[in-house]
């Protein structure tokens, strides 16, 4: 039985472990933290429990797939609640819109708030989104690429995407379909998940809009942290060994010298295992690494130059970052949903601030997630946990001194919460800036990895294998297919397929 070591018990690593154990391999997962989750982590303080990573969960079938590979299922491991509305949008002019679940409910919302013309346009929009997803998911997202030439292997799907305008720009595509400016924002802000302004993102990233606006947004009982716990539980029950509090410091590779009877660590050669912070050498037939790619090359492959697209200094274009303020407060907000988007007056100019000028948004839009509305474990009765997110420049382009800006940012966010009607009697808090993301090993101080520009999409995105290092496979948001909970789960499966190819 082949032995595979997985570095990291985040979502991609756990998905890879489930697929590998299901394929008959012996699997050991090594996680530096004390709990599973990686970026989908948790923070417990003063009776409050915070989800510290992604807050929006879509496409639950992508969770079910690795669970089933490990002999379990979504129904067995997770209790999901459909959020309706998926989002509550607040606009600077005082108006509001909600993203309702289901075609008819959302159509009625649009007709009531925006008029019959936009309601009719929504009918065509849903058809277009569904066709876009059906063409894109199996052919361009959920598959491995060895070279850009692989695109030619499925010419019909490529031709369909071109004919549908998938390689146009998302912002203009949405504006052509709807008259109401509020809908332009509501159906294109998802480009931020791909690390781009709506007017720069390819229209194919409307697939993200499809995932949350059409297929629905869910919340797992026990919080988002329940997702990695479910995957870890399924992998463990199927026979995988998961070791927490274990940091991998080196890769064992073929070469001269021996360390405890295992291959040495000379430059070059096939990967044969890993070394932990305690000096323990663990032999493996293959290794799946889920570290952010620049961190992986810097810490584990110092003898190799990272591919150009991986290194922001040499050409990689990284997504904007975010300040996230975790707040435990006395009181419960009224008139708010689980996910709330507060749009500023400014739109295009705010993205210029963020991505071109490297400054804070002059008129920011913000996301506030109130986990405690649907998670009784998140806060004591009569209290709330708030996840407040403001996009900010990453450290590559940003001109912000975060040591000095931390206090003023907190005060601005506090003023925003007060004016927007959220509780502000704060009992516990944690402010996360790009400096903290960087300290966690995230390149350019962003948790959103490489942006999904055309040269960093599909076969042009950094591969999950480096031919110079046989036996090593990458998974996670920095490689294929990309960023976000829906994408890193297939990333784990694609990594497992690469291991299968290597080991036969």
pLDDT surpasses 80 at 237? yes
Whether 149 and 205 share a structural domain: yes
Whether 323 and 307 share a structural domain: no
Sheet of 3-7: strand order equals 241-243, 26-30, 3-7, 286-289, 472-474
Using pLDDT thresholds of 50, 70 and 90, give the confidence band for residue 261.
very low
Say if CB 264 and CB 256 are below 8 A apart.
yes
Using pLDDT thresholds of 50, 70 and 90, give the confidence band for residue 265.
very low
Position 87 in a domain? no
Whether 26 and 112 share a structural domain: no
Sign (positive/negative) of CA torsion 121, 123, 127, 129? positive
Position 86 in a domain? no
DSSP string of 315-353, one letter each residue: T--BPPEEEEEEEEEES--SS--SEEEE--S-SHHHHII
Whether 433 and 495 share a structural domain: no
Q: What integer pLDDT is reported at residue 311 of this predicted model? A: 60
Whether 342 and 429 share a structural domain: yes
Helix, strand counts (H, E) of the chain = 15, 21
Position 94 in a domain? no
Position 238 in a domain? yes
Q: What integer pLDDT is reported at residue 367 of this predicted model? A: 98
Domain count, the chain: 3
Position 92 in a domain? no
Structure-block tokens of residue 273 = 């295992």
Last residue of a domain, one of 443, 458, 480: 443
Whether 112 and 149 share a structural domain: yes
Q: What integer pLDDT is reported at residue 256 of this predicted model? A: 35
Tell me: the pLDDT tens digits for 403-440?
999 999 999 999 999 999 999 999 999 999 999 999 99
Whether 478 and 416 share a structural domain: no
Whether 114 and 175 share a structural domain: yes
Q: Which residue has the tokens 């509090």?
A: 245
User: What element of type H or E holds 112?
Assistant: helix 103-114
Mean pLDDT across 36-64 = 95
pLDDT surpasses 50 at 89? yes
Tell me: the pLDDT tens digits for 365-391?
999 999 999 999 999 999 999 999 999
Whether 358 and 334 share a structural domain: yes
Q: What integer pLDDT is reported at residue 153 of this predicted model? A: 80
Whether 310 and 325 share a structural domain: no
Which has more confidence, 455 or 58?
58
Whether 200 and 234 share a structural domain: no
What lies within 8 Å, CB to CB, of 264 at 6+ separation is: 252, 253, 255, 256, 257, 258
Checking phi first, is residue 408 left (phi over 0); if not, alpha (psi -120 to 50) or beta? Answer: alpha
Q: Which residue has the tokens 């931020």?
A: 192
Share of the chain above pLDDT 70, in %: 96
Say if CB 190 and CB 208 are below 8 A apart.
yes
Q: What integer pLDDT is reported at residue 315 of this predicted model? A: 52
Burial 28-63 (b: 16+ CB within 10 A, else e): bbbbbbebbbbbbbbbeeeebbbbbbbbbbbbbebb
Rounded to the nearest integer, the mean pLDDT of the chain is: 94
SS3 assignment, position 430: strand
| Strand pairing report for 366-369 and 262-263 | unpaired
Structure-block tokens of residue 122 = 């929504």
- CATH number of the domain at 299, please: 3.50.50.60
Using pLDDT thresholds of 50, 70 and 90, give the confidence band for residue 458.
confident
Using pLDDT thresholds of 50, 70 and 90, give the confidence band for residue 148.
confident
DSSP 8-state symbol, 150: G
Position 88 in a domain? no
pLDDT surpasses 90 at 264? no
Whether 55 and 127 share a structural domain: no
Last residue of a domain, one of 173, 195, 214: 214
Using pLDDT thresholds of 50, 70 and 90, give the confidence band for residue 259.
very low
Domain hosting residue 61, numbered range = 3-80+224-314+450-503
């Amino acid at each position: 039985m082949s032995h595979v070591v997985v570095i990291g018990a985040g979502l991609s690593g756990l998905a890879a472990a489930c697929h590998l154990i299901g394929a008959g391999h012996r699997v050991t997962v090594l996680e530096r933290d004390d709990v599973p989750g990686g970026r989908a982590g948790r923070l417990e303080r003063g009776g409050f429990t915070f989800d510290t990573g992604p807050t929006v969960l879509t496409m639950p079938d992508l969770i079910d797939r690795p669970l089933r590979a490990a002999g379990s299922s979504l129904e067995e491991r997770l209790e999901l609640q459909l959020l309706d509305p998926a989002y509550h949008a607040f606009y600077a002019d005082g108006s509001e819109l909600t993203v309702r679940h289901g075609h008819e409910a959302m159509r009625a919302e649009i007709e009531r708030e925006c008029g019959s013309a936009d309601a009719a346009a929504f009918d065509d929009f849903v058809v277009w989104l569904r066709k876009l997803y059906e063409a894109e998911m199996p052919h361009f997202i959920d598959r491995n690429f060895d070279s850009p030439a692989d695109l030619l292997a499925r010419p019909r799907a490529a031709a369909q995407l071109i004919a549908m305008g998938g390689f146009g720009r998302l912002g203009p595509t949405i504006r052509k379909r709807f008259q109401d400016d509020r809908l332009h924002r509501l159906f294109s802000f998802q480009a931020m998940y791909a690390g781009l302004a709506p007017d720069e993102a390819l229209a194919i990233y409307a697939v993200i809009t499809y995932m949350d606006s059409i297929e629905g947004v869910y919340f797992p009982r026990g919080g988002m942290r329940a997702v990695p716990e479910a995957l870890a539980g399924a992998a463990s029950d199927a026979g995988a060994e998961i070791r927490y509090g274990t940091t991998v410091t080196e890769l064992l590779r073929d070469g001269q010298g021996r360390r405890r009877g295992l291959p040495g660590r000379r430059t070059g050669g096939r990967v044969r295992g890993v070394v932990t912070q305690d000096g323990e050498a663990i032999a493996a037939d293959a290794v799946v690494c889920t570290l952010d790619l620049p961190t992986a090359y810097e810490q584990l492959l110092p003898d190799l130059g990272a591919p150009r697209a991986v290194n922001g200094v040499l050409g990689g274009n990284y997504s904007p970052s975010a300040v996230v303020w975790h707040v435990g407060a006395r009181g419960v907000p009224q008139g708010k949903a689980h996910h709330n988007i507060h749009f500023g007056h400014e739109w295009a100019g705010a993205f210029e601030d963020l991505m071109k000028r490297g400054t804070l948004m002059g008129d920011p839009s913000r996301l506030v997630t109130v986990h405690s509305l649907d998670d009784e474990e998140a806060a004591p009765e009569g209290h709330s946990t708030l996840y407040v997110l403001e996009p900010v420049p990453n450290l590559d382009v940003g001109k912000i001194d975060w040591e000095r800006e931390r206090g003023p940012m907190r005060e601005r966010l506090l003023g925003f919460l007060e004016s927007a009607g959220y509780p502000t009697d704060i009992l516990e808090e944690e402010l996360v800036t790009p400096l903290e993301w960087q300290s966690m090993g995230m390149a350019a101080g962003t948790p959103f990895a490489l942006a999904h520009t055309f040269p960093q999409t599909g076969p042009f995105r950094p591969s999950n294998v480096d031919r110079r290092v046989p036996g090593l496979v990458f998974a996670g948001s920095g490689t294929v297919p990309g960023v976000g909970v829906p994408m890193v789960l297939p990333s784990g499966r694609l990594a497992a397929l690469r291991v299968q190819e290597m080991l036969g």
